[in-house]
Structure 1
Amino acid sequence: MTRKTPDGPSVYPNCGDRSAYYRHLRNGTQTCRPCKDALAKAMDIYRHSTGKVKSRVIPDTVIEQHGIRVGA
C-alpha cells in the first residue's frame, strides 16, 4: 500500500512518542513513521476509552470462517 505522505527522518531523541509527533508539527519538520504510529495508537486508545468506537461483536475469525459480509 502506498502512503500519500512520505515518511520523514527521525530527528528528535523522543521519536516514536506522541509528544514527538506534535513537536514535528510545531517545528515544521516532516513526521517520521514511528511518530505517526504512536499518534495512531494513542488515538485508538482514546476512542476505545471514551466509547467513540465499539469493538466488533463478531470476531474476525468467525467472519472469515463463515464468509459473513460486513458493510461499513
Structure 2
Amino acid sequence: MESERRNTDVLIKFVDKFSENTNHAVAKWQSGSVSKKEVIENLDIRLEYLTNFIQHSGFGNEDKSE
C-alpha cells in the first residue's frame, strides 16, 4: 500500500511537471526560440518516459482486491 501511494505521488508530480514543461516548450515554439520538430521530439521523449513509468509501477493493471 505504501509503494502504491509513493508511485501515485510520483505520477502526479511527473504529470504536473510534464504539463508545465509542455506549456513552456509551446511558448518557446510560439516565440520562435525552438522549432516545432524540437518541441515534438521533446514531448515524445517525455511521453515515452511517462508510459514506461505507468507500465512498470502497476497503474492500469486490474486490482482484484478492490
Name the TM tier (shorter chain): 0.3 to 0.5
Say which structure is richer in helix: 2
TM-score normalised by length of structure 2: 0.36
* TM-score, structure 1 normalization: 0.33
Larger Rg: 1
Relative contact order higher in (CA < 8 Å, ≥ 6 apart): 2
